Structure 1
Amino acid sequence: MSWMMIFQSILIEMTIKLIAKPLKIIGSILEYLLNSNAQKDSKNYYSVVGLLDPRLNLDKKIKHGDGRYYPALSVMASKLAYENKAVIQTTICQRWKMEFVGYYIFYNEFQHKPTTQAFIFREENVDGDVIVVAFKGTSPFLADELSTDFNISPIEIEGLGKTHLGYMLALGLNKYTRQDDNYLGEFCGYWPKQIEQDPKHPLAYYTIREKLKEILATNQNAKFIMTGYSYGGALAILFPAVLSLHGEVELLDKMEGIYTYGQPRVGNGTFGQFMKKKLREHGIKYYRIVYGCDVVPKFPPRGHATMSFKHFGPSIHFNSLYQGKIVEDEISKGEKIMKLFYYVILARLNAVWELIRGFIIGYIKGPEYKENWFLLTLRFIGILFPCLVDHLIPNYINSTRLASDDLFEYYSAKLASKETTVTTSSK
């Protein structure tokens, strides 16, 4: 990542702030029209993301114990995170038959307003309950959230490496005051292990951490998973990073897995090595799922090696036939020319196929896969902007539902074998 990229991101942030009000008005009008006469904040009022893909029920064909079960549950939770409390609570309790734990809107000390949303629910099992924490991703019409994505300045935290400043702020990075010795300006912060929270301004990391401790203290066999789509996926992987920084061993040992969909890059190579080590130590499985030529996982762009953000560990990539494969790491320099050819030419041809697929998938895979006019319109636009439309969450829901069981089972076994290798070699 070069200083020029950071400068460009600042210009984009400034532009987003200038259009914040008209952007919000457009989003509100669109939601109002698509929701007909439903009252806002009611259980029948849905977000733009929810209207794009109206599916709320879990796939009954995917049973508990199947390799696809938690990937499919997590992606639905990541989509549900965009909705209001009434929709989330009704869906969890009445449709999924699970326990709704809480809905949260968190404060950002640097933006001086709430910017982060998440909810928690519990799935009861014979083998032990599973607690799911789902972070909301970026809303396309909310400038504050778009600004968070483009706030790509790296913040270096000792022992952790360089990470994405915007996402750290959204998670609850504490702000230095002018009286602090480490004060370097308005946009610098730190992660104290304990803080006294303002009840009116709760911070995401601290609130969720304490809630998990409270739940897990009453159920020794329970585990928990983190999930999120897009910006929400970034928060899902940064949460255990801060837990590791604080030495929260008991919580980390209870973390079963992390499921992210269309997740952007969140840290540099040092951060990646730190996370690989911690995930192995605590046996945490990290499922990073990518669809097609989705542009968000390629953001922030790669730049100078010492400053560049990059993903770590293997990921699961799906194509437009919903066939998945395991990709070991980010593409090498030798593959970049071929990738450029793909994005310029083949991606547009693929977008034409995705539009055709949108018209016929309901007949082939079943009525629950039928795409509405809203989604089909975006697929048509996607012929011009294929990498943006590939980021849409219906692609990720279909990928996890239509994937083969053995893909996730093999991926899980592959991660487990790496953990065993590391443990054995360290003895």
Structure 2
Amino acid sequence: MTTPPPSPGTPNPRILERVWIFVRDGMPSVGRYRRYLVALAGPLAVVWGITFAYLLFAPDRYDSRMTLILPGTGVGGSINLESIGQATTTTASAFSSPSLSPTENYKRLLTSDIVLRDAARRAGEDEGAFPAPSIKLIDQTNLIEIQMPAGSPERARERMQALEAAFSGALENLRKGEAEARENADAERIAELEAKVDEAQKALLDFQGETGLVSLDQFAGRVTALDQLKASERDRRVQLAESRAGAGRLASTLDISLAQARMAMRLKADPEFRDLLTRYAATAGQRTATGATLGDAHATMEELSVEQDALRAALGRRGAMVTGASGEAVLSFADLAVSDTRERLFASLTEREAGGAGHGAALAELRRQIAAKTDTSQRQVEQASRLASLT
């Protein structure tokens, strides 16, 4: 006999049968349930008792959190001083060193006894009862997370503020100590530099007082003066050669020596000699004219001859007195009666000769000064080198 299939929504008889078998044969007996409850009641009571006791008697805890961020760049400064130079200072950040962990240093400082005791005093608590903060370092950053516990929110905040103030005070003390150490080192260095500057200045003043060389510009001026002397010496040599050549050319043209030209000019400049020369020339001309019609034995010719001889003797005496030469030399001089043109040429010859003498004297003095400065030039170079090293 075939069992008809169940209609939709009706439970399968086989399933119901299986459930009934499980309930009838698989469920423990009621006595076994009682034993289970007795075995588990004790541990459950202890666990729940502890839980309720903790909830009832454990004190409340509140945490105050703070995050510190450390700077990663340093500071620097630069100053320019005219005629002195440039000074540059750079302070690298202590938190940018790859070989040190500044966050770890700050962590150690935050949990140090000095900071905790100071924070306890600032918070008005016992130093031994002040809790250590919980610190967490954030990897790959300069951040430090700080957590401070307390029994109330206000107390947690006060403790965190006290810890922050104590930490800042410790940092300030460390910075002051470092600044004082640097300042002392800088002061010692400055004192050392001042001593060296004073020593160098004293050596410079002693050198300047000993040599008279005050600056390198003064040495350059001395070198320039020597060059100017040499240039002047060259100019004087040219002028001397020009004067001598001109005087020689005039003397050759006039067929007269310089001494004779000077003698002629002196005689020409003496009024008495010129008067005697004029009378002598007139008498000589008259005698020549008279001698054309009268003989030498004539009385007039004899008078003129006597007068001419007397004037000639007077010319010799006056010329000797004016020039210092002998009377015969004066009378034998061919240029007694120089013309105005020849007189000007004589004057030019004399001037050129005098100019040549002046150029010669100036040239000698220039050569003397050049020789003196050349002898000391090597010593001046050494002095300038030493002055440069002192300055």
Taking structure 1 as the reference length, the TM-score comes to: 0.15
Higher strand share: 1
Higher helix share: 2
Taking structure 2 as the reference length, the TM-score comes to: 0.16
Report which of the two structures shows the higher radius of gyration computed on alpha carbons: 2
